[in-house]
Amino acid sequence: MSMQSYKCGVARDPLIYNTIGNQFDEVVSRFPDSEALVVPHQNIRWSYKEYRAQVDRLATGLLALGIEPGDRVGIWAPNCYEWCLTQFATAKIGAILVCINPAYRLYELEYALNKVKCRAIVSAEAFKTSFYLEMLQTLAPELADCEPGKLKSAKLPHLEIVIRLGEEKTAGMFNFGDVCAMGGEGEIARVQELAGLLSPDDPINIQFTSGTTGNPKGATLSHCNVLNNGQVNGDVMQLTENDRVCIPVPLYHCFGMVIGSLGCMTHASAAIFPGEAFEPLTTLQVLSDERCTTLHGVPTMFIAMLDHPQFDTFSFDHLRTGIMAGAPCPVEVMKQVIDKMNMEQILIAYGQTELSPVSHITEPHDPLDKRVGTVGKPCPHLETKIVDENNRVVALGEKGEICTRGYAVMQGYWDDEEKTAETIDSGGWLHSGDIGVMDDEGYVQVTGRIKDMVIRGGENIYPREVEEFLYTHPGIQEVQVIGVPDKRLGEQVCAWIKCQDSVTLSEDDIRAYCKGQITHFKVPHYIRFVDDYPMTVTGKIMKFKMRETMIEELGPGELGHQD
């Protein structure tokens, strides 16, 4: 046996070479009456046949608006049935779905829409403290006076069409329900024609992933990328048409959109969305009421459910499997999920957006130590190697960078050949930036990160992105952002700020400047004003020293602080 840190995931079944739309239609033809989509908070309960009818109505409506294959269509909303319809309808007509984080604020929204030249956006009215339509009107005040579908905006020059959810009317915007009613015979024929023209290798989705050097990058994924990732991971969970999958994770992430939505579709399982966003009691209620067999989530979600005072009032006899991903799972949490939630076959998964997203997964009957101490083995059809700084494969048990090759590797970053080349090498290997170790069975343990990314509650935050925004403040001369340990969220964002000469700023000033401009979880939790930074002799800032200083200053009590 090879002593090198290389492993190829064993596959029992071939990959799917198909478009999402055609695969969806094939599943509907085989399981027309099986339950497909359940969204209790919107009173939606559709069979696969009913689901397809609604998808086709939206697809023909988008064609009637002039949306063409290759056009970018943004979706900006929390979990809802309209999100699901938009995912499948855009795939059917070859438009590229652009997932926009529901927590985005003006600065990020403007960048994202312009970076990929979104022609249309489907937007909720509001969610929590995010007033989406107001933000769109702030960036494009021309909406007030334009005919719907004919926006010409100075700040958003490529955006022409805004489709709003809900029943209220808004100047310059179409209503989602009205768009669904716009398609005619010509559009129906065009959908059927496109089914034979679109290629499985066409790009179908852009997911923004935070960049180490500033603004987010648009990871571009094809039908084959995401369709197969949903299929393969559903296979590992042994999903069938009898499974009922509870999906409290957000659709705008690959976890919800691919592992959740597409994983259900490829296996004719029911996709059940308990709410607009995760809420522990609602999720517990839906798990019980809908007799879900499968539950996905990040560790903090499982912890919140286990800790809920009403947890013991619910039955979990029907649960058996699901995927936990996004952060390491503590041993005690895994034991409780298995014992108290009946999830004997729960799996741990690991990956990244650029890998569609899952590249490693445990198996249903792996021992506990493999499920909490590793991220599993390479998924079927994917290769993994661990390499040193010279890109040479290291021996088993030695640390190095985790690299993956295979069908799941993204097509590249949208309109950014340079960053793509930095991430995918000439051999087709995607470099994760994560440090890992492979054992003699092929299980991989993630031990650290090359990139100085902060992971707060499952959200990836690149310090450079926060720094770039804070540099736009006229009173800031220099800023350095680091992650500080936090017992509940994993890490919190901390900013060390050096002010311009004769300028005095407070923590409240900084938070006020961030409010409404960057996503809430990127706003620094800890802010320190400094005159200088710990430096190497060559003038490089030592962020690890900053981190050590904060840990010492805050102490164990403060590091467990909860928002």
The verdict on 442 and 351 lying in the same domain is yes
The verdict on 252 and 378 lying in the same domain is yes
CATH number of the domain within which 549 lies: 3.30.300.30
CATH number of the domain within which 368 lies: 3.40.50.12780
Residue ranges in 170-309 assigned as alpha helix (H): 176-180, 185-197, 223-237, 254, 263-267, 280-289, 299-306
pLDDT at 187 over 90: yes
Q: Does the residue 508 lie in any domain? A: yes
* pLDDT band, very low/low/confident/very high, at 562 (cuts 50, 70, 90): very low
pTM: 0.85
Check if the beta carbon of residue 490 is closer than 8 Å to that of residue 456: yes
Q: Does the residue 167 lie in any domain? A: yes
Tell me the pLDDT tens digit for each residue of 5-55: 999 999 999 999 999 999 999 999 999 999 999 999 999 999 999 999 999
Q: Does the residue 40 lie in any domain? A: no
Cis peptide, bond prior to residue 378, ω within 30 of zero: no
Which one has a higher pLDDT value, 457 or 117? 117
Please name which of 73, 52, 519, 68 lies closest in space to residue 265, comparing C-alpha atoms: 52
Handedness of CA 381, 387, 392, 395 (dihedral sign): negative
Mean pLDDT of the chain: 93
Parallel, antiparallel or unpaired: strands 383-387 and 400-405:
antiparallel
The verdict on 395 and 525 lying in the same domain is no
Check if the beta carbon of residue 397 is closer than 8 Å to that of residue 3: no
The verdict on 406 and 298 lying in the same domain is yes
HEC assignment per residue over 95-154: CEEEECCCCCCHHHHHHHHHHCCCCEEEECCCECCECHHHHHHHHCHHHHHCCCCCCCCC
Q: Does the residue 251 lie in any domain? A: yes
Mean pLDDT value of segment 552-556: 86
Check if the beta carbon of residue 77 is closer than 8 Å to that of residue 101: no
Output the CA–CA distances (angstroms, integers) from residue 522 to 279, 479, 482, 498, 553, in the order listed.
Answer: 21, 14, 11, 19, 22
> Which residue is associated with the tokens 């059809």?
381
Handedness of CA 203, 208, 209, 214 (dihedral sign): positive
The verdict on 127 and 225 lying in the same domain is no
Which of 405, 431, 449 finishes a domain?
A: 449
Q: Does the residue 41 lie in any domain? A: no
Check if the beta carbon of residue 244 is closer than 8 Å to that of residue 293: yes
Residue 329 is classified by DSSP as P
The verdict on 246 and 282 lying in the same domain is yes
Output the CA–CA distances (angstroms, integers) from residue 174 to 122, 127, 190, 331, 443, in the order listed.
Answer: 9, 19, 22, 50, 50
The verdict on 335 and 367 lying in the same domain is yes
Range of the domain at 245: 6-14+218-449
Q: Does the residue 204 lie in any domain? A: no
The total number of structural domains in the chain stands at 3
**85: which 2 tokens?**
């319809």
pLDDT at 477 over 90: no
Non-local CB neighbours of 55 within 8 Å, separated by 6+ positions: 24, 85, 88, 89, 92
pLDDT of residue 561: 47
The verdict on 248 and 367 lying in the same domain is yes
Percent of the chain with pLDDT over 70: 96
**326: which 2 tokens?**
């996004």
pLDDT of residue 333: 86
Residue 390 is classified by DSSP as T
Tell me the pLDDT tens digit for each residue of 209-242: 864 445 789 999 999 999 999 999 999 999 999 9
Q: Does the residue 1 lie in any domain? A: no
* pLDDT band, very low/low/confident/very high, at 536 (cuts 50, 70, 90): low
Which of 199, 226, 256 finishes a domain?
A: 199
The verdict on 317 and 461 lying in the same domain is no
Segment (H or E) for 47: strand 44-47
Tell me the pLDDT tens digit for each residue of 146-164: 999 999 999 999 999 999 9
Residue 276 is classified by DSSP as S
**395: which 2 tokens?**
């021996």
pLDDT of residue 537: 56
Tell me the pLDDT tens digit for each residue of 68-92: 999 999 999 999 999 999 999 999 9
Please name which of 233, 294, 236, 298 lies closest in space to residue 269, comparing C-alpha atoms: 294
pLDDT of residue 539: 57
Give the Cα separation of 373 and 42 in Å (integer). 39
Tell me the pLDDT tens digit for each residue of 233-276: 999 999 999 999 999 999 999 999 999 999 999 999 999 999 99
pLDDT at 339 over 70: yes
Which of 138, 169, 199 finishes a domain?
A: 199
**324: which 2 tokens?**
């936990």
The verdict on 469 and 439 lying in the same domain is no
> Which residue is associated with the tokens 């719907």?
148
pLDDT at 383 over 80: yes
The verdict on 10 and 26 lying in the same domain is no
CATH number of the domain within which 91 lies: 3.40.50.980
Q: Does the residue 532 lie in any domain? A: yes
Give the Cα separation of 543 and 318 in Å (integer). 48
The verdict on 157 and 246 lying in the same domain is no
Mean pLDDT value of segment 112-130: 96
Mean pLDDT value of segment 480-502: 92
